[in-house]
Chain A
Amino acid sequence: MVKKLIVDPSKCVGCRYCEMWCSFVHEGVFSSSFSRITIVKDDRIGLDYPIVCEFCEPAPCVKACPTGALIKGNHGIIIVNEEKCISCGNCVKACPYGAIKLHPIKLKPLICDLCEGREPVCVSKCPTNAIRIYPIEEIDLSINEEVFDQAYAHALKRHKELMKRWGIHVK
């Protein structure tokens, strides 16, 4: 089943504990620049937002790769073939969410692998449950707007946005 990381920015406190443990689990050392998850911050206005791989379908990063080093593996996860990779950075530029960066030393793309089937460490370590993992199951909530009124249609539109944040994938 396809799974996806869901973030709740109202819960994120910007501590970057996820970045630390993502880096440690994958690279064996602690570094913000080695992490596959990135917290965008602006302290003045209280902005803390976790940038995660959105597992796009089709994936712009895969399409942008000139050597075929990126492929879609099981469960929609991007697999990086480091031998084929020429460190051109096209995938970094292609990602619409800014969720890919190059490893500062190896210069290979750092892309979320959902911790290869274990519970993702960003999910398990988050102190406020701001990141969760959900199966993607599409729910059909399309309604005929004529059944109800404008008020209902407007409320439902906003509720769908909220449901998306909860991790419920709405058609």
Chain B
Amino acid sequence: MSSRLYGYAGKILRIDLTKGKVHEEPLSRKMARAYLGGRGFNVRRLYSEVPKSIGPLSPENKLIIATGPIAGTGFPLGARLNVTSKSPQTGLLGDSNVGGHFAAEMKYAGFDQIVIEGRSSKPIYIYIYNNEVEFRDASGIWGLTISRAYDAIRRELKDWKIQIALIGPSAENLVRFSGIFFNVYRPAARTGLGVVMASKNIKAIVVRGDGYVEVAKPRAFETLVEEIEESVYSHVQYWPRRIMGTSRILLAANRLGFLPAYHFKKGIVDYAYCVSGERLAIEYNVKNRGCFSCILPCSRFYVIREGSFAGTYGEGPEYEALAGLTVRIGNDDLNSALKAINMINDLGMDVISTSEVISWAMELYEKGLLNKRETNGLDLRWGNMDAVFKLIEMIAYRKGFGDILADGVIKAARKLRKGLDLAFHVKGLEMIQADPRGLKGYGLGFAVSSRGADHLRSEPFIELSDNPEIGRKLFNEPEATLRLGTRGKGRLVAYYENWCAIVDSLEVCKNIAENMEILSFDKAAKLINVVTGLEMSASEVFKVGERIINIERAYIVREGVRRKDDILPKRFLREPIDRGPSAGQVIELNRMLDEYYKTREWDPITGIPTIKKLHELGLHDVAEDLQKHGIKLSKGLTYK
């Protein structure tokens, strides 16, 4: 049997900015088998190479970018990548997943993973062309917005084929929720990774390659792709997704009553159509755009055709941005929402966290807890977009009241000594645009997610089916797949967390792997073998997901996270939703958490993985390391 690894580029690029040195390391077969790629590769490296004492903005923190074995092949919807670091926003695990064309180009340049460590003494951008790495002066582009910097770099290098990862002015100003943007419109925005890049004095990472990716079994690969193509093209969600992308969720969320309207005070609004994906499709969108090798190109290029923002254009928005700058801040005007999203992106910030800090301030303002003197004269009533535009600039450039919000909602609340209960975050990461009271599995997912309040770590979409038969079949509990049910949610979330970890490591899009249920677990296992030649069994693949979840948990446990941190903001636990189809609901978190830890075989009192579980997953070094840090691990647990 050939020992060659197909699919993978086979090399890791390590860049030490302090020493100005670059070297290549081979990708080991063992690493590929145990972690598959992307998210798995990154968290394994972060755990080993970024120990507890390291500050997120210190030169010792590392910025790690990795993709999987599929990127760069003709497999549809399979060219994403993960960026990982210690998060300057949460102080815990920083991790964000993004599409676009960067991952494939990285493979063609010859790398599965890029590890950046140290700090450059002056602003630079890194230019990787095949196996050559050049540090180029970035003093001329430092301070530029995302779109301008993108243009400037393309012109300077005289090459339109390059792929660029870049940061905006907000990251340079250390706004804690700044992301890394891939070619203008594709941000890895969550957990503040742009700030890590800025702290290392890197404005951009440019990659270009002339190499190729070879699959282990070309004929079988072709057949598998044909099967996937057929399932995608014949899927009932094909056209809605292609026409609207995720912006279609807004009207659906309004129908089910889990919108984050007015900072999660209302689950429904009466102007949902005015700010919906449906309206965007009819009045704004001009063409579709796709990530690399995608056959369900769901991104939309829009143009504002009238009003004071006429001529504004861009890609998107996805649901998170759309709901964040409309209903969450009480704004019913789509034009100004698009303009605001455009501004936030171009300045380089995470639109989800930005929408939380703004809507949080608006709720305090409404309650009389914030006055105009404190907001530098801004009238922060719901939906006042003139004030929002000003505030966005003030956050990005850390001016006045914006400087306080720029540290994120929890730090802002602590600094102002108010609104702590209204700061909607988990573990320091601001909450996404769905009310967990109307989606209990998602709620549990937010609470236990390894990076903070985020749905993409588990995405238990199946509970939206509201079909008890599915729950009975999959989890032996009909309530598991009822969105307002609580029993069986621990099993539901644990299962989908494992699956998402596999998907994020294969770097396949969750559209086909999750929501459309096209890339099933069996197909994914087959895909891995056809592409890599690793010959992994289905149970071995499944263990990869569990291993990644456990090492991520170990990473945040080492940083001090315990069960008490797996919590949701009080509003969701105590205040029932006021009206709509989810009226009267709160989230019964504790009961679901008990079941979750039990399913995970973690200590239910501390939320720490047991020795037995870590050993079973081959994480002996992790168990030992945790104990070295004085963390007591239970041997194993017996449940009644």
Contacts and interface: CB of A to CB of B under 8 A. Distances in A.
Interface stretch (A7-15, A71-79, A159-167): A7-15
Nearest to B303: A46
Given A13-B289, A44-B151, A31 B295 contact: no
B200 interface: no
B402 interface: no
Given A13-B288, A20-B74, A31 B294 contact: no
Nearest to B185: A43
18 contacts: A13-B288, A14-B290, A15-B294, A17-B294, A20-B73, A21-B74, A24-B74, A24-B222, A30-B213, A30-B215, A31-B108, A33-B210, A34-B212, A42-B154, A43-B185, A44-B150, A46-B286, A46-B289
Given A16-B293, A33-B210, A104-B210, A128 B288 contact: yes
Interface of B: 72-74, 76, 101, 104-105, 108, 147, 150-151, 154, 160-161, 183-185, 209-215, 218, 222, 286-297, 299, 301, 313, 315
Contacts of A40: 160
Contacts of A16: 101, 292-293
A42 B289 contact: no
Interface string A35-49: 000001111111010
B101 A127 contact: no
A115 interface: no
A28 interface: yes
A40 B162 CA distance: 11
8 smallest CB-CB distances across A and B, nearest first, come from A31-B212, A20-B74, A15-B290, A13-B297, A127-B295, A46-B301, A104-B210, A13-B290
A86 interface: no
A32 B292 CA distance: 11
A78 to B, nearest CB: 22
A23 B212 contact: yes
A13 B101 CA distance: 12
B218 A28 contact: yes
A2 interface: no
B72 A30 contact: yes
Contacts of A104: 210-211
Interface string A111-131: 000000000000001011000
Contacts of A10: 287
A104 B185 CA distance: 30
Interface string A72-108: 0000000000000000000000000000000010000
A29 interface: yes
Given A20-B73, A30-B72, A104-B211, 20 more contacts: A13-B288, A13-B294, A14-B289, A15-B292, A15-B297, A17-B74, A17-B76, A21-B74, A24-B218, A24-B222, A27-B212, A30-B213, A31-B72, A31-B211, A32-B104, A40-B160, A41-B101, A44-B151, A44-B183, A125-B74
